[in-house]
Amino acid sequence: MDKSLIYIECLLPVPLHTFTYHLPVELAEKAIPGCRVIVPFGARRFYSALIVSVSNNHPGHETKAVESFLDGEPVLDVKCLELWKWLASYYCCSLGEVMKAALPGGLKLESQTTVYPLSGQTLPDSLPELEEIILQYLKDNKPPTIQQLNKLTRKSNIYPAIQSLIAKKLVGVDEDIVEKFKSKSETHYRISQSITDEKRVELALETLKKAKKQFELFLFLIDELDFFNQRNSLTISKKEVVKSLKFTESAIKGLIEKGFIEPLEIETSRIDYHAPISRFNLNLSEFQQKALIEIKHQFERKNVTLLHGVTASGKTELYIKLIQETLAHGKQVLYLLPEIALTSQMIERLQAVFGATAGVYHSRFNDSERVEIWNKVLRFGNDGSGYQLILGARSSLFLPFSNLGLIIVDEEHETSFKQFDPAPRYNARDAAVVLAQLHGAKVLMGTATPSFESYHNVHTGKYGYVSLSQRFHNVELPRIILSDLSDAHKRKQMVSFLTPLLYNEIKNALLNKEQIILFKNRRGFSHYIQCKNCGWIPMCTHCDVSLTYHKYSHNLQCHYCGFSSKMPQHCEKCHSTDILDKGLGTEKIEDELNILFPEAVIDRLDLDSTRKKFGHEKIINRFSEGKTNILIGTQMITKGLDFENVSIVGIVDADSQMNFPDFRSYERAFQLISQVSGRAGRKNKQGKVIIQTHQPDHPLFKYIETNNFDKMYNDTITERRIFQYPPWYRLIYITVKHKNIDRAKLAANILADELKKEVKATILGPEFPAISRIQQYYQLMIRLKFDKNGPLAQQKQNIIEIAKKIKQMEHNSSVIFTIDVDPI
């Protein structure tokens, strides 16, 4: 064994395992897990790689040498790496994939090839046209990157031409690592270090007598930077100097040249600073006080506690109290929320309380902002400037925490905590429990409608449980009224899509100047069109779904791949011009309402109306300011919004939610309807929730009417056991995709057969899901149900091995297998 080398396991920003590199043993002290190095990878590229572990042992295959070191200090805590490893093994993906999701792009470096001309070689008489173009470009420009040349020549692959030029010794190439993150900096000035006392100032002014502008500027700076008290410690930005008086660059330059002031670059933040409210008094109600004591009591014995509190029961105040206490102990806090964009009210509230110690992190930040937040979390503990509290969406789980004391998972039941695509397909709620364990921290999960998984964990004693059943200010829960759609249809009493009951309630509310929310989910039928003559329905050419009609843009769109086409003038099959729109989308509801209630101001909150930046906020603000009378919305309106004046919530079509073919449809429907209901009735008046349904006798409504989550859970949990579903069993769904339907089928069948032989689980499929083709790819699904107490980790390994084996078979290399653990 070569004793002069040590070996490091590295992660590169490619969706693969780790790679081993070597470096001389003298540099061993620089090889710290969590630091980045630059390494060669493949034929001609360099990447930044993250050191995972260091060893003295030769890995048993060839290794390349580390090119250089990037960091003196780790960019993350080793506990983060532990979380990554857990995620990779639990969610069946590579560590490289986890790293891709975890590290902000700015910390991942990649080499760029630049091309430069070589002189001294005589030009041949003739060159291929492409090579001529390149040479000409090099003559007149600074060395371009390969990508720039590709763009310039509008060719997809310019590399062969460059290789040919290299062979002729006409050009050379360079591999440069580019640092993507540039910290934002401003030019500042300070009084020169050589000016040590008043005397020197006078002397300086003496020399400046002839340069009037410089004299004035110097005097200004001495005053502004409070030289006589602060000496040379303060700085002023160039912006301010130029702005404050009519000083020009030349005056500044003059002072610098004479050595009276010094320029320096100061890093500035891209992130807004929030000043905390100076005096924040938190008065907990008697019930909240009791709940707080109970939570702490639970934390003595349990690492995770579920806080079950109805809407508006004041969970937030409890969170704030617990965060304050944890921060006071010098520990970090992570507050996880679903879909950050939809919870801006909550963020604003918490930022107002915690000010600059609190940072926000989610996917809408750009790369530079993310690196900045990352570094601020990393810096916590070193100086006073780091973030101690992070409010964020699921990806904030990856921030480089070193000393977490508490993780709050708000709206624990929300499905958006689960990442679906791409890998890692992790559930932030569950990963939070693991992360907390690594830090010895506690987890508080809050919700008004617990997920069955979490509630089950409470029942088995794994999680602690605290309930908060009293609403704030004793606001009553809204009255739930069912409205029978079948009956109204039969009696021909329907007013467009409204039962007479809901219609009249809306009318009355409008008369009383009260607001109305109408809820229509996206699931179920959206707004497709159909030929009345032959039944033809326009379909997406890439996916097997019907196209949705959009009135606003007057075209047809696919909600899966974004494909759009013109609205056809006549049926493509029978050429009939009698084409009808079917179904009821939010857009159509808006239209109908405009006809029914022409005096009302109507707004719509869905994916289409909020696409513009701040579209969401604008619609919400209009409504909460009372400018809108009726708000129509999808799932979006259920998220953490508090309105004062909503007396009626109408659920246009409850059936499509309940009848969705999924084992969780009950749970979901209950969650959704109670969340929508929570928007109704505040402070002084009981609100009404009117549910339109064809099945008013459905048992689900009994639970909803009485808001009896417990009963719903107990009545339906047995069914889950009988049919082998969570929380009793663990699910893994495997999707097999290929452009060719037969290849997809064949690979899926082989996989299912192998799994049945090798894996101890109930295996269903392969079968085509409801949508069998998405973006040109046919897909089949295999579903596995595992006994919770079995050796799951081993089984997962088996699955990965089998999939790998099948991929190696002839013609199968382009088959895509995706493994989804704990699918939602």
Partner DNA sequence: AGCACGCCGACT
Partner DNA sequence: GTCGGCGTGCTC
Binding site for DNA (CB under 7 A): 14-16, 19-21, 39-45, 59, 61-64, 128, 155-157, 159-160, 808, 810-811, 813-814
Distances (CA, A) of 408 to 318, 346, 540: 11, 13, 42
We find the least distance from the C-beta atom of residue 42 to DNA, in angstroms, to be: 5
Chain centre distance of CA 336: 11
Hey, CA dihedral for 157, 163, 164, 168, is it positive or negative?
Answer: positive
Output the smallest distance, CB 543 to DNA, in A. Answer: 19
Nearer to DNA, 764 or 816 (CB): 816
Mark 194-205 as b/e (b = at least 16 C-beta within 10 Å).
ebeeeeebeebe
Which CB, 144 or 765, lies closer to DNA?
A: 144
Which one, 20 or 647, has the nearer CB to DNA?
20
DSSP character for 568?
P
Output the smallest distance, CB 244 to DNA, in A.
47
Q: Taking the complex as a whole, how short is the minimal distance between the CB of residue 450 and DNA, in angstroms?
A: 36
Read off the tokens for 754: 């192998």
What's the closest the beta carbon of residue 91 comes to DNA, in angstroms? 16
Least distance between DNA and beta carbon 823 (Å): 20
Q: What's the alpha-carbon Rg for the chain, to the nearest Å?
A: 32
Specify whether the backbone of 724 is left (phi greater than 0), alpha (psi in -120 to 50) or beta.
left
Least Cβ distance, residue 90 to DNA (angstroms):
20
Q: What 3-state DSSP class applies to 323?
A: helix
Q: How far is the CB of 47 from DNA (least distance, A)?
A: 9
Residue 14 or 800: which CB sits closer to DNA? 14
* Residue among 145 and 403 whose Cβ is closer to DNA: 145
| CA–CA distance, 816 with 794 (Å, rounded to integer) | 22
Could you tell me whether strands 332-336 and 404-410 are parallel, antiparallel, or unpaired per DSSP bridges?
parallel
- Which among 681, 729, 689 is positioned nearest to 706, based on CA atoms? 689
What is the β-pairing status of strands 389-392 and 332-336? parallel
Q: Among residues 39 and 556, whose Cβ is nearest to DNA?
A: 39
Nearer to DNA, 126 or 808 (CB): 808
Residue 164 vs 324, nearer CB to DNA: 164
d(CA 386, CA 591): 51
What is the helix (H) or strand (E) element at residue 794, kind and residue range?
helix 792-808
- From the CB of 525, what's the least distance to DNA, in Å? 34
Q: Give me the residue label for tokens 């004299």.
A: 215
AA identity, residue 76:
L
Nearest-approach distance from CB 487 to DNA, in angstroms: 54
Q: Looking at beta carbons only, is 44 or 805 nearer to DNA?
A: 44
Distances (CA, A) of 490 to 176, 500, 696: 74, 12, 15
- CA-to-CA distance for 308 and 467, rounded, in angstroms? 5
Q: Give CA separation, 167 vs 8, 187, 237, in Å.
A: 36, 46, 52
CB of 795 to DNA, least distance (A): 24
What's the gap between Cα 99 and its chain centre? 15
Upper half-sphere CA count for residue 450 (Cβ side, 13 Å):
29
CA distances from 812 to 744, 747, 756, 820 (A): 9, 7, 20, 20
